A and B are shown apart, each in its own frame.
Chain A
Amino acid sequence: MSPGDSDSPYNFAYLDEDTKRMIRRAILKGVAVPGYQVPFASREMPMPYGWGTGGVQVTAACLVPEDRLKVIDQGADDTTNAVSIRKFFERTAGIATTETTTEASLIQTRHRIPETPLTEDQILVYQVPIPEPLRFLEPRETETRKMHALEDYGLMHVKLYEDIARHGAIATSYAYPVRVGDRYVMDPSPIPKFDNPKLSDNAALQLFGAGREQRIYALPPYTKVVSLDFEDHPFQATKAEHDCDLCGASDSYLDEVILDDRGGRMFVCSDTDFCTRRRAAGHVGCLGEPA
C-alpha cells in the first residue's frame, strides 16, 4: 500500500483532525503575538520526547499534499533523527522530500538555520527542548509568565552581565536569547548564536514547537529580532576561526571532527546541503578532494 492511498492506515500527516485544528489555532495565535509562547495540548508521538515531538506536531499541522519536506539535524540531512522524521512523513502524509534547501517548501530543523537564504514560499519549523528563556533563572512557571506579562527582563541581562564578569565576554554560545519586535524575550531554540542574525527580517515564516513543554511560538516573516547585548559588549555571531576543510567556505558554521587520538581534527560545514553543493560547484577545501 503506497502512502498517498486513501486506504492508508494513517490519517493525512498522522494526527487526527481535532488535534490538528487545536495545533493550528495555537499556531495562528502564535503568529498574531510574535515571540509569545502559546500553550497547546501536545500529543504523544511515536518517538521519544527530545527527538522533535514539538516540531513534528507543528509540521503535521502545516503540511499540505503538495509540500516538499526537508529535515535537518544540526544542519545534516543524513543523521538518524532527520532520516526518521522524513520517513515518518513520507509514510503518513505521502509527501515528497528533499535534501536541497532551495527545493523545500517546508523545512523542519533541529538546532540550525540553513546557510542558504530562505524565501517567502518556505516555512522553517524548529524543534525546541526548553521554550522558556527565563526557565534556568526562574524555575516557577507562574513567575516567568508574570515576567513576560510585565516585560520584566532585567534578570536576563543580569545573567549576561554575570557571563561578562566571569569570562570577560558573553559566554552564551547557543540558545542565545533574543527580543522579538521590541516586546517578548524568546528562546530561539539551541541554534548556535552564529545563526541568530538570520532570525531577524527573514523572508520565511518561522514556527517553533516544544512537545514535552507544550508550547508553540512563531516569528512572522520580516519581524525584527534583536539578540540581547550591552553597548560595550555588543552581540557577536561567532564560529570556529577556520574555513571548511571540504568546500573551503569561510562564511558557514563549522563542526569540528576529531580524526584520531593524537590531536588530528578537521572543520566541516554543519550544513551538509550547503557543503555538497559548493563541492559540486568545484570549491575544494584544504583536506577535500575535487568532486
Chain B
Amino acid sequence: MTVALTGAFADPPRDAARAFRGALRALSRPGTIVTLAGAAGPAPLSPAAAALLLTLADATTPLHLAGAHDCAALRDWVRFHCGAPLTGAEDAAFALGTWPALAPLDRYRIGTPDYPDRAATLIVEVEDLTPDGARLSGPGIRGQARLSLPETAAFRANHDLFPLGWDCFLTAGERLAGLPRSTQVEAA
C-alpha cells in the first residue's frame, strides 16, 4: 500500500474525538502542551499535525501547504484522507508548514469586523515545544504561562488586530500547543 493510503485513525469517530479534546484543551489554555497520537502522514508531516488535519480539515476547508509540506506525497495524503481543496495562502482556512515557510503572515485571512470567525488557522510545525520562553497572558491563562515560540513580534502584531487575526496551533512530533489571537505575547 502506498503511503498516501495509510496513517489514518484506526477508529475515526473516537480517535478524532480524543484529538479534538486535546486541541480544544490546547487552544483554550494557551501554554498547555497536549499529546495527539494515532495518526501518521508522510514526511515532513508530524503525527500531531496529521491528527489535527484528520480532525478538522475536510472538503469545506481550503488548505494551504507551505514550503517543504507542499510535496506530492503529502498532497496525495491530504486528498485521500481529508479531501481538503489545496489553495493559496490568501484563501486558506488552514495553513500548514514551518514558521519560515508560512511567512509572510499578512497573507492569511483574519476575518472581518462582522465575522471575525472567518479567519485562518495556522498549523506551525516546530522542532521542539516546551513550556518556557515567551510569556503568555490573556483568556485561558491563570496569571501567566510560558511557551517556546519561533518569535514574538508576529504574535504581538496579530493580537493587536483582536478581535480579528489568525489563530495558531504549534506541533512538534506528537505534541501540540495552541495560541489563539486573544493571547498577549511578550518576549521572555
Show the binding face of A for B, using Cβ within 8 Å.
11-13, 17-18, 20-22, 24-34, 36, 38-39, 61-65, 120, 145-146, 149-150, 181, 183-184, 203, 205, 218-224
Contacts and interface: CB of A to CB of B under 8 A. Distances in A.
Contacts, number: 116
Interface string B43-77: 00000000000011110110000000000000000
B55 A184 contact: no
Nearest to A24: B20
A31 B180 contact: yes
11 contacts: A11-B13, A17-B13, A20-B16, A24-B24, A26-B117, A62-B21, A145-B115, A205-B24, A219-B139, A220-B29, A220-B139
Given A33-B163, A34-B182, A222 B139 contact: yes
A20 B25 CA distance: 17
Interface string B101-119: 0000000000001111101
Contacts of A39: 115, 117
Task: With a 10 A CB-CB cut-off, give which of B25, B27, B119 has the most chain A CB atoms.
Answer: B27
A272 to B, nearest CB: 28
Contacts of B60: 22
Given A33-B182, A183-B163, A63 B17 contact: yes
A205 B61 contact: no
Contact of B121 (A22, A28, A36): A28
Task: With a 10 A CB-CB cut-off, give which of A13, A27, A220 has the most chain B CB atoms.
Answer: A220
Contacts of A38: 117
Interface string B8-20: 0000111011101
B17 A32 contact: no
A26 B113 CA distance: 17
A149 B23 CA distance: 28
A116 to B, nearest CB: 19
B17 A31 contact: no
Nearest to A32: B180
A33 B181 contact: yes
Contacts of A33: 116-117, 162-163, 180-182
A65 B14 contact: yes
B141 interface: yes
Contact of B28 (A17, A65, A218): A218
A24 B56 contact: yes
Nearest to B94: A25
Contacts of A24: 20, 24, 55-56
Contact of A222 (B27, B114, B140): B140
A149 B116 CA distance: 9
Given A17-B16, A184-B163, A149 B182 contact: no
Interface in B77-115: 93, 113-115
A34 B93 CA distance: 19
A62 B180 contact: no
Contacts of B29: 120, 205, 220-221
A29 B13 CA distance: 21
